[in-house]
Structure 1
Amino acid sequence: MTTPSAQQPGRLDPGPAGIASERRRLTNLAYRLLGSLADAEDVVQETYARWYAMPAERRAAVVSPGGWLTKVAGRVCLDLLGSARVRRERYVGEWLPEPLPDRAELVGGRVGGADADAVDPADLVTMDESVHMAFLVVLESMTPAERVAFVLHDVFRYPFPEVAGIVGRSPAACRQLASSARRRIRTARRPAAAEHHASLVREFRRAWAAKDIGALVGLLDPAATSTPDSGGLVPAVLRPVVGSEAIARGLAEVREQQPGVELLERTVNGQPGLVARLDGVTVSVLAFDVADGRITRIWAMRNPEKLRAWTAA
């Protein structure tokens, strides 16, 4: 499950160019740990700020600048994860990880049609199975220490002695944390073939566009769950909707209320998903989980603050 851009760093140039080259790896790490592109950006900036706050002679003495940056970023993420529970108690409705588009779907080289020479953070995240929405949702169920130990070791291939230095526990304890996290992943994930996933999402889009409740029910697992995240910023149900019939009727109501919504098939966190646009503005991004030929989970991002990577010019 190693992230292609996330192999352990070797010796790199401690100058500005070498340090800047670590941004992609740090963003990949922070996004997987936090499930938020905005928070990942903040972590990377904080990590760089701490690096440049050190006297030049101390920076020059660092044997592995890449390792130093990873250690700091990991600890900042661990602190943020520790405080996230309190912050999410104040969050209106359900909290979901921030969905990201595929690189090919970024507008003009930078989301929102901005300067094409600038690098958008969404373009820095490698779209592999460790950013699939189902995977990120399982990570959300873990303790901060479990999540950090698992992601650093299983995804980024850091040895447990180095993970221990970030988590603040012994290598043996980190090994146990990662093992516990691994069991959660195995229990929760039932990946479908990519082609089957795409065909189900395509059929779902057509049925939704046609307001065909019967077809929608047939595509959904009877015990399917649809989880919205609006942050209380737009009208939406605040709790998960359970059951194929209830989900299908709710989707039909949405089409009745917003007949002008355009439904587009797009890649969401590396998997087939849907984007809903109204008057050219993205109002919702849907990710899906599929098992046994049916859609079992829908995650619907409605919070406009988490849709900035999908904003078209």
Structure 2
Amino acid sequence: MEQTRIGKTDLYVNRIGLGANAVGGHNLFPNLSDEIGKDVVRTALAHGINFIDTAFIYGPERSEELIGEVLKETGRRSGTVIATKAAHKFVDGQTLKDNSPAFLVESVHASLKRLQTDYIDLFYIHFPDESTPKDEAVGALHKLKAEGLIRAIGVSNFSIDQLKEANKDGYVDVLQSEYNLLRRGVEEAILPYTEEQNISFVPYFPLASGLLGGAYTKDSTFQDGRAKNPLFQGEAFLRNLGKVEQVREIAAAKQAEVAHVVLAWYLTRPSIDALIPGAKRPEQVINNLKALEVKLTPEEIGAIDRIFQA
């Protein structure tokens, strides 16, 4: 499977990894099974995926624990790039964000225990807080990197100004933020900066909560967070479905699914090194990998771009 280098590091990952928020993410998804979640991870490893993305807040804690259990039972730790994140803490029933050096150091050590490992390949500051200087937060992670506890430094959900502050000393290796064909705001300033600085960009929500997967119709209804998402409301929802139908024509000509074509389009972008689509079931892991078989022509790449620029 084709691999790509993460930023300026010595980490190499396959271009489609596993977003593990549905592995133990009981606070994010209803009726999850821990055993099915572990099967999702086992399936990913068995099919050549070597890049798994998780976070403290998935569970909380449970996703890291389940991944640690699978890595231990399979003996696949050394060949697997594990990314995790922290910034959340619970105080008096509230969820707060903390980027202080002391909190980040504490979080790394806690993640190491849950993952049953003595190093973390890629550690992200999950969200910016309101007070910590970003270069100080990253500086704390740089010290942990020098100690061998983490191998690469990431930030997530940072604005362009926060990213520049975080990267003041050139220590940031990866940025993870929302990006998909329906939400392209990072193209304006963030992606040019990450390219210039050799910072890998890893998008989340690449299928826009399923909207770009091609499974919805004008009669689809939603009871979860999508019900309040502007992409899924009224005329905007109908326009977005129309765009997906245009992609379906390209997919049909290639005997592929819409989701595969959309994921393949992202991999043609020079800014994007790897994707981490999620999966609730093992068969979804295998299906996501089919995107690697889709080869888009320059004309198809341009056509998709124009569809979603309209």
Coarse TM-score class (shorter-chain normalised) = under 0.3
TM-score (norm 1): 0.23
TM-score (norm 2): 0.24
The structure where helix makes up a greater share of residues is 1
